[in-house]
Amino acid sequence: LLYIRTAKNISFKNVHAHLHKLIPPNFPSFIRYYRFTHINITVPVFQSPGSASFGMSVFNLGNAIMGSGILGLSYAMANTGIAMFVILLVAVAIFSLYSVHLLLKTANEGGSLVYEQLGYKAFGIPGKLAASCSITMQNFGAMASYLYIVKYELPIVIKAFLDSNDNSWYTNGDYLVLIVTMAIILPLSLLRNLGYLGYTSGFSLLCMVFFLIVVIYKKFQIPCPLPENFINITVNVSQPQVNTTDEECCKPKYFVFNSQTVYAVPILTFAFVCHPAILPMYEELKDRSRRKMQNVANVSFLGMFVMYLLAALFGYLTFNEAVEPELLHTYSKVYNFDVVLLIVRFAVLTAVTLTVPVVLFPVINQLLGASKDFSWPRHICITVALLVCVNILVIFVPTIRDIFGFIGASAAAMLIFILPSAFYIKLVKKESMKSVQKIGATLFLIVGFMVMICSMALIIADWIHNAASSGEHADGH
């Protein structure tokens, strides 16, 4: 920032003329705004105009929002009921948009378009660490969820190509995750420039749209309850059947409360988190303004809201209570082989495999440190260590639901609720703490802490209960 310290009675005209004397006529930048205080005028650094159009920004933000979280939404609906799920989905979408509003306003007032830098300006090193750790945890959870998809779906694809149900080592998901990591993800992650892999985000979005279309189509193809001849022809009898002949199980429920309901809000927050990408996209927006970027967010969130609702609803209506935490895997219990589903699986597997290095790259840069000179040994060690940790997590954590739940309750809650509201309260000085805006941000901060603490406590309690139940079964009780 350029700080012009002056007297209270300075005229705007004189300052404006003085600034234009300092700026060369051909300077390729512009003044965004002036902010007057009692004794100084703050003018942000002159920034080059962005080049991304409104439509491209909407597409890019949609890419940032959309991810593996869509695969867990049907499971969330099955454990909350249709009506409760819609209420939660609307609430999380609105809260996410409100946090985008707080973030954009804080960026304008705080004079920074970097999430971690806002944390530093607000609370010093602890604020920067909180932002950095939350973003790192979110990326780590995203990588784990992508590798879970490899663990779940790649064995099914291989069995389909080999036309075999043998449980050999090459159809074991744990081994396949390790092979894919070493053969594809590790070499790509060791590259210094991953710019060309940026196109995989658009490919991932197209894959998820294709997945949504197939989910809707299969709802009308798979009857409920399954007739006997349908089961004999298409169901893999070595696996438990998804639907029974009981009519009662096919009736959709509107309100459900059980031990798995606690995962619903974390799954939704995990699916909507995109806030570290908001400020870079704001910087790249052509003719940028806070209102225009907010409109970009509104359109993107509306589009993702519709996709999420349709995917959750039709997935749930297809399988009802038998839907798994990863929806695509549930179809393997109905179909031995299906060409359309095989194409979806192959496309999704390709997308998530190529996306892991892109998600890993910012974490590596964060740990390497921007001020340090590049070092190949350090780069290789950090990359290998991160991938080892992610693989251990994927192999030993029993289900993708736990990743959705833990990351959604911790990092996603921090990025959506807590950090934007805390930064806003601290950095936006022109509004008093008694103003409606600050009171709203304070309430939002309190809600964020409640969501995080309650969700984490209930999830950990569920883990302890499941561990105790498994121990009792193992002992024969």
Domains, the chain: 1-48 (no CATH), 52-465 (1.20.1740.10)
- pLDDT tens-digit map of 325-355: 999 888 887 877 788 999 999 988 988 888 8
**Rounded mean pLDDT, 29-47:** 39
More confident residue, 170 or 84: 84
Tokens (6 digits) for 451:
């969501």
Give dist(CA 134, CA 409) in Å, integer.
11
pLDDT over 90, % of the chain: 43
Give dist(CA 376, CA 321) in Å, integer.
50
Does the pLDDT at position 307 exceed 90? yes
Task: Name the nearest CA neighbour of 82 among 259, 314, 306.
Answer: 314
- Please, are residues 82 and 320 in contact by the beta-carbon 8 Å criterion? no
285 φ, ψ (degrees, to nearest 5) = -70, 130
Burial, 447: exposed, middle or buried (Cβ in 10 Å; 0-12, 13-18, 19+)?
A: middle
At 47, which amino acid appears?
A: Q
Beta pairing partners, 80: none
Q: pLDDT-based confidence at 370, cuts 50/70/90? A: low
Task: Name the nearest CA neighbour of 306 among 294, 317, 298.
Answer: 298
Give dist(CA 289, CA 58) in Å, integer.
15
Does the pLDDT at position 231 exceed 60? no
Q: pLDDT-based confidence at 64, cuts 50/70/90? A: confident
**Rounded mean pLDDT, 189-200:** 71
Task: Name the nearest CA neighbour of 278 among 415, 146, 93, 124.
Answer: 415
Does the pLDDT at position 301 exceed 90? yes
- pLDDT tens-digit map of 278-292: 988 898 888 888 999
Under DSSP, the state recorded for 49 is: P
**Rounded mean pLDDT, 170-187:** 91
Task: Name the nearest CA neighbour of 264 among 453, 88, 91.
Answer: 88
